[in-house]
Protein backbone atom coordinates (compact mmCIF):
# COMPACT_ATOMS: atom_id res chain seq x y z
CA UNK A 1 0.00 0.00 0.00
CA UNK A 2 1.33 3.39 -0.95
CA UNK A 3 2.14 5.67 1.94
CA UNK A 4 0.09 8.81 2.31
CA UNK A 5 1.24 11.80 4.27
CA UNK A 6 0.58 15.46 4.93
CA UNK A 7 4.26 16.28 5.42
CA UNK A 8 6.96 15.20 2.95
CA UNK A 9 10.62 15.50 2.29
CA UNK A 10 11.21 16.87 -1.20
CA UNK A 11 14.50 16.09 -2.90
CA UNK A 12 15.12 18.21 -5.96
CA UNK A 13 18.04 19.50 -8.00
CA UNK A 14 17.59 23.25 -8.37
CA UNK A 15 19.93 25.28 -10.56
CA UNK A 16 22.44 22.44 -10.37
CA UNK A 17 22.30 22.10 -6.62
CA UNK A 18 20.82 19.10 -4.80
CA UNK A 19 18.39 20.15 -2.11
CA UNK A 20 16.29 18.23 0.38
CA UNK A 21 13.62 20.07 2.29
CA UNK A 22 10.61 19.15 4.40
CA UNK A 23 7.32 20.75 3.57
CA UNK A 24 3.58 20.37 3.92
CA UNK A 25 2.24 18.47 0.90
CA UNK A 26 -0.14 21.31 0.05
CA UNK A 27 2.78 23.71 -0.44
CA UNK A 28 2.64 25.08 -3.96
CA UNK A 29 5.94 24.93 -5.79
CA UNK A 30 6.15 28.71 -6.29
CA UNK A 31 5.93 29.25 -2.52
CA UNK A 32 8.30 26.37 -1.80
CA UNK A 33 10.88 28.02 -4.05
CA UNK A 34 10.33 31.54 -2.78
CA UNK A 35 9.72 31.10 0.91
CA UNK A 36 11.58 27.95 1.79
CA UNK A 37 14.52 28.24 -0.59
CA UNK A 38 14.73 32.01 -0.99
CA UNK A 39 14.50 31.86 -4.78
CA UNK A 40 12.50 35.06 -5.06
CA UNK A 41 13.21 35.37 -8.77
CA UNK A 42 10.16 33.12 -9.03
CA UNK A 43 7.43 35.71 -9.11
CA UNK A 44 3.81 35.18 -8.17
CA UNK A 45 1.56 37.35 -10.29
CA UNK A 46 -2.00 36.17 -10.74
CA UNK A 47 -1.58 33.06 -8.59
CA UNK A 48 -4.27 31.43 -10.76
CA UNK A 49 -2.38 29.82 -13.68
CA UNK A 50 -2.89 32.75 -16.01
CA UNK A 51 0.06 35.13 -16.07
CA UNK A 52 3.17 32.92 -16.24
CA UNK A 53 5.30 35.07 -13.89
CA UNK A 54 5.99 31.93 -11.82
CA UNK A 55 7.22 29.88 -14.81
CA UNK A 56 10.17 27.58 -14.08
CA UNK A 57 11.81 24.89 -16.19
CA UNK A 58 11.21 21.26 -15.24
CA UNK A 59 13.86 18.69 -16.14
CA UNK A 60 15.68 21.12 -18.39
CA UNK A 61 13.01 21.48 -21.02
CA UNK A 62 9.43 21.83 -19.83
CA UNK A 63 8.11 25.24 -18.82
CA UNK A 64 5.58 24.90 -16.01
CA UNK A 65 3.60 27.36 -13.90
CA UNK A 66 4.92 26.75 -10.40
CA UNK A 67 1.78 28.21 -8.77
CA UNK A 68 -0.15 25.22 -10.11
CA UNK A 69 2.11 22.36 -9.05
CA UNK A 70 2.50 20.97 -5.55
CA UNK A 71 6.07 20.86 -4.22
CA UNK A 72 6.07 17.06 -3.67
CA UNK A 73 5.33 16.58 -7.37
CA UNK A 74 8.87 17.68 -8.26
CA UNK A 75 10.51 15.20 -5.88
CA UNK A 76 13.34 13.53 -7.79
CA UNK A 77 13.24 16.09 -10.61
CA UNK A 78 15.39 19.00 -11.76
CA UNK A 79 14.36 22.63 -11.84
CA UNK A 80 15.79 25.77 -13.35
CA UNK A 81 14.80 29.20 -12.06
CA UNK A 82 16.07 32.58 -13.24
CA UNK A 83 18.70 32.41 -10.50
CA UNK A 84 20.32 29.55 -12.41
CA UNK A 85 19.99 31.10 -15.86
CA UNK A 86 22.89 33.55 -15.69
CA UNK A 87 24.82 35.78 -13.33
CA UNK A 88 25.06 39.55 -13.04
CA UNK A 89 28.49 39.62 -14.65
CA UNK A 90 27.73 36.83 -17.08
CA UNK A 91 24.20 37.06 -18.35
CA UNK A 92 22.57 34.27 -20.30
CA UNK A 93 22.10 35.25 -23.98
CA UNK A 94 18.36 35.52 -23.32
CA UNK A 95 18.94 37.91 -20.43
CA UNK A 96 21.44 39.90 -22.47
CA UNK A 97 18.99 40.13 -25.34
CA UNK A 98 16.23 41.34 -23.00
CA UNK A 99 18.65 44.00 -21.72
CA UNK A 100 19.79 45.07 -25.19
CA UNK A 101 16.30 45.20 -26.70
CA UNK A 102 14.65 46.86 -23.72
CA UNK A 103 12.33 43.86 -23.45
CA UNK A 104 11.36 44.72 -19.90
CA UNK A 105 10.19 47.71 -18.01
CA UNK A 106 9.01 46.84 -14.52
CA UNK A 107 10.62 43.41 -14.81
CA UNK A 108 7.93 41.52 -12.98
CA UNK A 109 7.16 39.10 -15.81
CA UNK A 110 10.79 38.82 -16.90
CA UNK A 111 12.05 35.74 -15.00
CA UNK A 112 9.08 33.64 -16.11
CA UNK A 113 9.20 35.12 -19.59
CA UNK A 114 12.91 34.27 -19.97
CA UNK A 115 12.42 30.67 -18.91
CA UNK A 116 9.51 30.34 -21.31
CA UNK A 117 11.79 31.76 -24.03
CA UNK A 118 14.46 29.18 -23.18
CA UNK A 119 11.92 26.34 -23.51
CA UNK A 120 10.65 27.85 -26.77
CA UNK A 121 14.13 28.16 -28.31
CA UNK A 122 15.05 24.63 -27.27
CA UNK A 123 12.07 23.36 -29.21
CA UNK A 124 12.33 25.80 -32.08
CA UNK A 125 15.77 27.46 -32.47
CA UNK A 126 14.61 29.79 -35.28
CA UNK A 127 11.07 30.91 -34.48
CA UNK A 128 9.17 33.43 -36.58
CA UNK A 129 7.47 36.44 -35.00
CA UNK A 130 4.21 34.54 -35.02
CA UNK A 131 5.73 31.45 -33.44
CA UNK A 132 7.29 33.58 -30.71
CA UNK A 133 4.01 35.31 -29.93
CA UNK A 134 2.15 31.99 -29.96
CA UNK A 135 4.83 30.23 -27.90
CA UNK A 136 4.86 32.95 -25.24
CA UNK A 137 1.11 33.38 -25.03
CA UNK A 138 1.09 31.84 -21.55
CA UNK A 139 3.20 34.74 -20.23
CA UNK A 140 1.63 38.14 -19.74
CA UNK A 141 3.55 41.43 -19.85
CA UNK A 142 1.73 44.67 -19.05
CA UNK A 143 4.57 47.08 -19.88
CA UNK A 144 6.30 46.33 -23.16
CA UNK A 145 3.47 45.61 -25.54
CA UNK A 146 5.52 42.49 -26.39
CA UNK A 147 7.22 44.07 -29.42
CA UNK A 148 10.62 44.30 -27.77
CA UNK A 149 10.25 40.86 -26.24
CA UNK A 150 9.81 39.42 -29.73
CA UNK A 151 12.90 41.37 -30.83
CA UNK A 152 14.87 40.02 -27.87
CA UNK A 153 13.90 36.44 -28.66
CA UNK A 154 15.25 36.86 -32.19
CA UNK A 155 18.52 38.26 -30.84
CA UNK A 156 18.81 35.49 -28.25
CA UNK A 157 18.14 32.88 -30.92
CA UNK A 158 20.85 34.38 -33.09
CA UNK A 159 23.41 34.33 -30.28
CA UNK A 160 22.45 30.85 -29.07
CA UNK A 161 22.63 29.45 -32.61
CA UNK A 162 26.05 31.03 -33.26
CA UNK A 163 27.68 31.23 -29.84
CA UNK A 164 31.23 31.68 -31.14
CA UNK A 165 30.63 34.47 -33.65
CA UNK A 166 28.28 36.81 -31.87
CA UNK A 167 29.42 37.67 -28.37
CA UNK A 168 26.97 39.37 -26.11
CA UNK A 169 27.26 43.10 -25.70
CA UNK A 170 29.30 44.21 -22.70
CA UNK A 171 27.50 45.65 -19.72
CA UNK B 1 -4.90 30.82 -1.56
CA UNK B 2 -3.79 27.49 -0.25
CA UNK B 3 -5.83 24.32 -0.59
CA UNK B 4 -7.30 22.75 2.50
CA UNK B 5 -4.91 20.20 4.01
CA UNK B 6 -4.89 16.79 2.36
CA UNK B 7 -2.87 13.61 2.33
CA UNK B 8 -0.65 13.02 -0.66
CA UNK B 9 0.11 9.66 -2.23
CA UNK B 10 2.64 9.27 -4.97
CA UNK B 11 1.42 6.19 -6.85
CA UNK B 12 4.05 4.24 -8.77
CA UNK B 13 1.71 1.69 -10.28
CA UNK B 14 -1.91 1.56 -11.33
CA UNK B 15 -2.58 -1.09 -8.66
CA UNK B 16 -1.22 1.22 -6.00
CA UNK B 17 -3.44 4.07 -7.19
CA UNK B 18 -6.52 1.81 -7.37
CA UNK B 19 -5.87 0.48 -3.90
CA UNK B 20 -5.96 3.97 -2.43
CA UNK B 21 -9.04 4.90 -4.46
CA UNK B 22 -10.79 1.80 -3.16
CA UNK B 23 -9.81 2.12 0.49
CA UNK B 24 -10.52 5.86 0.56
CA UNK B 25 -13.49 5.92 -1.82
CA UNK B 26 -15.20 9.28 -1.82
CA UNK B 27 -12.27 11.00 -0.15
CA UNK B 28 -9.64 10.58 -2.84
CA UNK B 29 -9.05 12.40 -6.08
CA UNK B 30 -6.63 11.55 -8.87
CA UNK B 31 -3.96 14.13 -9.75
CA UNK B 32 -2.78 14.01 -13.36
CA UNK B 33 -1.83 17.35 -14.96
CA UNK B 34 -3.54 19.22 -12.16
CA UNK B 35 -4.14 22.32 -14.27
CA UNK B 36 -7.84 22.37 -13.42
CA UNK B 37 -7.85 20.39 -10.17
CA UNK B 38 -5.19 22.46 -8.39
CA UNK B 39 -6.91 25.79 -9.11
CA UNK B 40 -10.20 24.20 -7.95
CA UNK B 41 -8.48 23.09 -4.73
CA UNK B 42 -6.97 26.53 -4.25
CA UNK B 43 -10.42 28.12 -4.54
CA UNK B 44 -11.63 25.31 -2.24
CA UNK B 45 -14.21 24.28 -4.78
CA UNK B 46 -12.59 20.86 -4.48
CA UNK B 47 -11.43 19.55 -1.12
CA UNK B 48 -10.23 15.97 -1.52
CA UNK B 49 -8.84 14.44 1.63
CA UNK B 50 -6.41 12.33 -0.33
CA UNK B 51 -4.64 13.25 -3.52
CA UNK B 52 -3.40 10.31 -5.58
CA UNK B 53 -0.60 11.54 -7.82
CA UNK B 54 -0.44 9.23 -10.85
CA UNK B 55 2.37 11.15 -12.57
CA UNK B 56 5.03 8.54 -11.70
CA UNK B 57 3.08 5.84 -13.65
CA UNK B 58 4.97 6.17 -16.95
CA UNK B 59 2.75 3.58 -18.63
CA UNK B 60 -0.06 6.13 -18.65
CA UNK B 61 1.91 8.51 -20.89
CA UNK B 62 1.06 6.17 -23.74
CA UNK B 63 0.06 7.58 -27.13
CA UNK B 64 -0.16 5.08 -29.97
CA UNK B 65 -2.41 3.64 -32.65
CA UNK B 66 -3.51 0.07 -32.21
CA UNK B 67 -6.29 -1.86 -33.92
CA UNK B 68 -9.03 0.63 -34.74
CA UNK B 69 -8.12 3.41 -32.32
CA UNK B 70 -5.61 5.94 -31.15
CA UNK B 71 -4.87 5.15 -27.50
CA UNK B 72 -4.42 8.32 -25.47
CA UNK B 73 -3.10 7.52 -21.99
CA UNK B 74 -4.21 9.36 -18.88
CA UNK B 75 -0.87 11.19 -18.75
CA UNK B 76 -0.61 12.17 -22.42
CA UNK B 77 -0.14 15.94 -22.16
CA UNK B 78 -1.81 18.45 -24.43
CA UNK B 79 1.67 19.53 -25.55
CA UNK B 80 2.56 15.95 -26.45
CA UNK B 81 -0.50 15.84 -28.70
CA UNK B 82 0.23 19.31 -30.07
CA UNK B 83 3.74 18.39 -31.20
CA UNK B 84 3.12 14.76 -32.20
CA UNK B 85 3.75 14.17 -35.94
CA UNK B 86 1.19 11.35 -35.82
CA UNK B 87 -1.48 13.74 -34.54
CA UNK B 88 -0.50 16.49 -36.96
CA UNK B 89 -0.69 14.14 -39.93
CA UNK B 90 -3.69 11.97 -39.09
CA UNK B 91 -5.84 13.66 -36.46
CA UNK B 92 -6.58 17.26 -37.54
CA UNK B 93 -9.37 17.61 -34.98
CA UNK B 94 -7.07 16.72 -32.06
CA UNK B 95 -4.34 18.90 -33.58
CA UNK B 96 -6.72 21.89 -33.74
CA UNK B 97 -7.86 21.47 -30.14
CA UNK B 98 -4.42 20.84 -28.70
CA UNK B 99 -3.20 24.20 -30.05
CA UNK B 100 -5.92 26.19 -28.33
CA UNK B 101 -6.43 24.54 -24.93
CA UNK B 102 -5.48 27.05 -22.22
CA UNK B 103 -1.96 28.38 -23.01
CA UNK B 104 1.30 26.68 -24.05
CA UNK B 105 2.69 26.42 -20.51
CA UNK B 106 -0.51 24.93 -19.11
CA UNK B 107 -0.52 22.48 -22.03
CA UNK B 108 2.85 21.12 -20.88
CA UNK B 109 1.14 19.53 -17.88
CA UNK B 110 -2.58 19.37 -18.68
CA UNK B 111 -3.94 16.15 -20.17
CA UNK B 112 -6.78 15.23 -22.51
CA UNK B 113 -8.06 12.52 -20.16
CA UNK B 114 -7.95 14.91 -17.21
CA UNK B 115 -9.87 17.46 -19.21
CA UNK B 116 -12.65 14.93 -19.91
CA UNK B 117 -12.73 13.81 -16.26
CA UNK B 118 -13.00 17.42 -15.13
CA UNK B 119 -16.14 17.62 -17.30
CA UNK B 120 -16.19 21.37 -17.58
CA UNK B 121 -18.63 22.18 -20.41
CA UNK B 122 -16.16 24.89 -21.46
CA UNK B 123 -13.35 22.32 -21.76
CA UNK B 124 -12.31 22.14 -25.41
CA UNK B 125 -11.75 18.40 -25.62
CA UNK B 126 -15.24 17.40 -24.48
CA UNK B 127 -16.92 18.61 -27.65
CA UNK B 128 -14.14 17.19 -29.82
CA UNK B 129 -14.41 13.77 -28.16
CA UNK B 130 -18.16 13.80 -28.83
CA UNK B 131 -17.69 14.75 -32.48
CA UNK B 132 -15.10 12.02 -32.97
CA UNK B 133 -17.06 9.35 -31.08
CA UNK B 134 -14.28 8.68 -28.56
CA UNK B 135 -14.50 6.00 -25.91
CA UNK B 136 -13.43 6.27 -22.27
CA UNK B 137 -11.58 3.29 -20.75
CA UNK B 138 -12.26 2.92 -17.05
CA UNK B 139 -10.77 0.63 -14.46
CA UNK B 140 -10.98 -0.11 -10.73
CA UNK B 141 -10.07 -2.99 -8.43
CA UNK B 142 -13.56 -4.36 -9.14
CA UNK B 143 -13.95 -4.12 -12.88
CA UNK B 144 -12.84 -2.81 -16.24
CA UNK B 145 -15.34 -1.08 -18.46
CA UNK B 146 -15.63 1.37 -21.29
CA UNK B 147 -18.15 4.05 -22.10
CA UNK B 148 -18.81 6.17 -25.14
CA UNK B 149 -17.98 9.72 -24.16
CA UNK B 150 -21.69 10.57 -24.63
CA UNK B 151 -22.52 8.42 -21.62
CA UNK B 152 -19.55 9.69 -19.64
CA UNK B 153 -20.65 13.32 -19.21
CA UNK B 154 -23.56 13.47 -16.76
CA UNK B 155 -23.63 17.09 -15.68
CA UNK B 156 -21.38 20.09 -15.13
CA UNK B 157 -18.21 18.76 -13.46
CA UNK B 158 -19.92 15.35 -13.13
CA UNK B 159 -19.08 12.13 -14.96
CA UNK B 160 -20.12 8.50 -14.81
CA UNK B 161 -16.86 7.68 -13.02
CA UNK B 162 -17.40 5.86 -9.71
CA UNK B 163 -15.43 6.90 -6.65
CA UNK B 164 -12.97 4.01 -6.86
CA UNK B 165 -12.47 4.23 -10.62
CA UNK B 166 -9.85 5.80 -12.81
CA UNK B 167 -9.82 6.60 -16.51
CA UNK B 168 -6.68 4.96 -17.85
CA UNK B 169 -7.08 6.06 -21.44
CA UNK B 170 -9.31 7.43 -24.15
CA UNK B 171 -9.68 5.57 -27.43
CA UNK B 172 -10.09 7.89 -30.36
CA UNK B 173 -11.35 6.23 -33.56
CA UNK B 174 -8.70 5.94 -36.24
CA UNK B 175 -9.35 8.17 -39.26
CA UNK B 176 -11.56 6.54 -41.87
CA UNK B 177 -10.87 7.00 -45.58
CA UNK B 178 -12.00 10.43 -46.83
CA UNK B 179 -12.44 11.83 -43.34
CA UNK B 180 -11.27 14.89 -41.42
CA UNK B 181 -12.25 17.11 -38.55
CA UNK B 182 -11.83 20.67 -37.34
CA UNK B 183 -12.20 22.64 -34.12
CA UNK B 184 -12.81 26.35 -33.83
CA UNK B 185 -13.36 28.51 -30.80
CA UNK B 186 -13.78 32.10 -29.80
CA UNK B 187 -12.06 33.25 -26.63
CA UNK B 188 -11.52 36.73 -25.26
CA UNK B 189 -7.83 36.06 -24.80
CA UNK B 190 -5.45 33.12 -24.65
CA UNK B 191 -6.07 31.01 -21.58
CA UNK B 192 -9.60 32.23 -20.97
CA UNK B 193 -12.53 29.85 -21.17
CA UNK B 194 -14.13 29.47 -24.57
CA UNK B 195 -17.02 31.81 -25.33
CA UNK B 196 -18.12 29.20 -27.86
CA UNK B 197 -16.34 26.27 -29.49
CA UNK B 198 -17.45 23.80 -32.13
CA UNK B 199 -15.90 20.51 -33.19
CA UNK B 200 -16.71 18.70 -36.41
CA UNK B 201 -15.67 15.29 -37.67
CA UNK B 202 -16.92 13.87 -40.94
CA UNK B 203 -16.30 11.03 -43.38
CA UNK B 204 -17.41 10.76 -47.00
CA UNK B 205 -18.37 7.59 -48.86
CA UNK B 206 -16.83 6.64 -52.18
CA UNK B 207 -19.50 8.58 -54.04
CA UNK B 208 -18.66 11.78 -52.14
CA UNK B 209 -21.71 11.76 -49.90
CA UNK B 210 -21.39 12.26 -46.16
CA UNK B 211 -21.30 8.82 -44.55
CA UNK B 212 -20.67 9.87 -40.96
CA UNK B 213 -20.77 13.18 -39.14
CA UNK B 214 -20.15 14.34 -35.61
CA UNK B 215 -20.74 17.83 -34.22
CA UNK B 216 -19.77 18.73 -30.65
CA UNK B 217 -20.46 22.07 -28.99
CA UNK B 218 -18.34 23.66 -26.27
CA UNK B 219 -19.42 26.11 -23.55
CA UNK B 220 -23.05 26.39 -24.68
CA UNK B 221 -24.81 24.11 -22.21
CA UNK B 222 -24.47 22.42 -18.83
CA UNK B 223 -22.29 19.74 -20.45
CA UNK B 224 -20.43 19.37 -23.72
CA UNK B 225 -23.25 18.93 -26.24
CA UNK B 226 -23.72 16.80 -29.32
CA UNK B 227 -25.80 18.51 -32.01
CA UNK B 228 -27.69 15.34 -32.95
CA UNK B 229 -30.24 16.74 -35.35
CA UNK B 230 -27.62 18.80 -37.14
CA UNK B 231 -25.57 15.63 -37.56
CA UNK B 232 -28.58 13.84 -39.03
CA UNK B 233 -29.04 16.57 -41.62
CA UNK B 234 -25.55 15.85 -42.93
CA UNK B 235 -25.62 12.07 -43.26
CA UNK B 236 -26.40 10.82 -46.75
CA UNK B 237 -26.10 14.26 -48.31
CA UNK B 238 -23.57 15.71 -50.72
CA UNK B 239 -21.55 18.53 -49.18
CA UNK B 240 -22.66 21.97 -50.34
CA UNK B 241 -22.61 25.53 -49.07
CA UNK B 242 -26.40 25.47 -48.60
CA UNK B 243 -26.31 22.21 -46.66
CA UNK B 244 -23.58 23.47 -44.35
CA UNK B 245 -25.52 26.68 -43.71
CA UNK B 246 -28.65 24.75 -42.85
CA UNK B 247 -26.71 22.40 -40.55
CA UNK B 248 -25.02 25.34 -38.83
CA UNK B 249 -28.42 26.97 -38.16
CA UNK B 250 -29.67 23.70 -36.72
CA UNK B 251 -26.59 23.36 -34.46
CA UNK B 252 -27.29 26.87 -33.14
CA UNK B 253 -30.87 25.83 -32.34
CA UNK B 254 -29.57 22.81 -30.41
CA UNK B 255 -27.16 24.88 -28.32
CA UNK B 256 -28.29 26.02 -24.89
CA UNK B 257 -26.00 28.82 -23.74
CA UNK B 258 -26.58 31.22 -20.88
CA UNK B 259 -25.87 34.94 -20.92
CA UNK B 260 -22.81 35.90 -18.90
CA UNK B 261 -19.84 38.28 -19.00
CA UNK B 262 -18.61 36.52 -22.14
CA UNK B 263 -21.72 37.29 -24.13
CA UNK B 264 -25.48 37.08 -24.38
CA UNK B 265 -27.36 33.89 -25.09
CA UNK B 266 -28.32 35.22 -28.54
CA UNK B 267 -24.75 36.17 -29.39
CA UNK B 268 -23.41 32.78 -28.35
CA UNK B 269 -26.07 30.92 -30.32
CA UNK B 270 -25.21 32.91 -33.39
CA UNK B 271 -21.53 32.17 -32.85
CA UNK B 272 -22.40 28.46 -32.74
CA UNK B 273 -23.88 28.94 -36.19
CA UNK B 274 -20.82 30.81 -37.48
CA UNK B 275 -18.26 28.43 -36.01
CA UNK B 276 -20.14 25.29 -37.04
CA UNK B 277 -20.33 26.56 -40.62
CA UNK B 278 -16.61 27.34 -40.67
CA UNK B 279 -15.65 24.06 -39.01
CA UNK B 280 -17.72 22.12 -41.57
CA UNK B 281 -16.07 24.02 -44.40
CA UNK B 282 -12.62 23.48 -42.95
CA UNK B 283 -13.15 19.75 -42.37
CA UNK B 284 -14.47 19.37 -45.91
CA UNK B 285 -11.54 21.32 -47.36
CA UNK B 286 -9.19 19.04 -45.49
CA UNK B 287 -10.85 15.95 -46.94
CA UNK B 288 -10.55 17.41 -50.43
CA UNK B 289 -6.92 18.38 -49.90
CA UNK B 290 -5.93 14.90 -48.73
Mutate one of B105, B120, B188, B192 to test the A interface: name it (highest A CB count within 10 A): B105
What sign does the CA torsion over A121, A167, A147, A126 have?
negative
Nearest CA in chain A to B55: A73
Exposed, middle or buried: residue A159 (CB in 10 Å: 0-12, 13-18, 19+)? buried
Structure confidence at residue B1 as a pLDDT band (50, 70, 90):
confident
Judging contacts by C-beta atoms under 8 Å, the chain A residues touching residue B53 are 72-73
The phi, psi pair for B96, rounded to 5°, reads -60, -50
- Our CA-based measurement puts residue B191 at a distance from the nearest CA of chain A, in whole angstroms, of 7
Any residues with CB less than 8 A from the CB of B120 and at least 6 apart, and which?
B36, B126, B156, B157, B193
Whether the per-residue pLDDT at A1 is higher than 60: the answer is: no
Structure confidence at residue A5 as a pLDDT band (50, 70, 90):
confident
What average pLDDT does range B272-289 have in this prediction? 98
- Tens of pLDDT, residue by residue over B167-204, are 999 999 999 999 999 999 999 999 889 999 999 999 99
What average pLDDT does range B142-155 have in this prediction? 98
Rg (CA), chain B: 19
Q: Please name each of the domains of chain B with its CATH number.
A: 7-53 (3.30.43.10), 60-173 (3.30.465.10), 179-289 (3.30.390.50)
Q: Is CATH 3.30.70.141 the right assignment for the domain spanning A7-84?
A: no
**CATH superfamily assigned to domain A93-161:** [2Fe-2S]-binding domain (1.10.150.120)
- Tens of pLDDT, residue by residue over A59-77, are 999 999 999 999 999 999 9
Exposed, middle or buried: residue B74 (CB in 10 Å: 0-12, 13-18, 19+)? buried
pLDDT above 90 covers a percentage of chain B that reads 98
- Tens of pLDDT, residue by residue over A78-123, are 999 999 999 999 999 999 999 999 999 999 999 999 999 999 999 9
The phi, psi pair for B98, rounded to 5°, reads -70, -10
Q: Give the length of chain A.
A: 171
CA–CA distances in Å: residue A141 to residues A104, A148, B190, B209: 8, 11, 13, 49
Structure confidence at residue A171 as a pLDDT band (50, 70, 90):
very low
Residue extents of the structural domains in chain A? 7-84, 93-161
Chain B contacts in chain A segment 76-115 (CB below 8 A): none
Q: Please report the pLDDT score of residue B151 as a whole number.
A: 98
Q: Tell how many helices (H) and how many strands (E) occur in chain B.
A: 12, 14
A79 close to A35: Cβ distance less than 8 angstroms: no
Nearest CA in chain B to A1: B16
Helix, strand, coil percent content, chain B, rounded in steps of 5: 40, 25, 35
Amino acid sequence: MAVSSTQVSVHVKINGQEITKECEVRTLLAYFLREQLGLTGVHVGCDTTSCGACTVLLDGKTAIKSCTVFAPQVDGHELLTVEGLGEADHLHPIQQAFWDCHALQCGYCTPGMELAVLALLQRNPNPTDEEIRFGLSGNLCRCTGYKNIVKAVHQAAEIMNHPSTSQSVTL
Amino acid sequence: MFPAPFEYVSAHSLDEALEVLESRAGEAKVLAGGQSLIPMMRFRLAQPQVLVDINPIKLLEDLHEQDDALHIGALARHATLEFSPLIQQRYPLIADVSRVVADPTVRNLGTLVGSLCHADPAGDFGSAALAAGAEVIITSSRQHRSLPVDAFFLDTFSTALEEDEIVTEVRWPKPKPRSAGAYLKIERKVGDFAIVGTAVQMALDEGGRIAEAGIGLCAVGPISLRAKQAERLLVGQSPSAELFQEVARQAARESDPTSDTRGSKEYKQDMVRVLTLRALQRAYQRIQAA
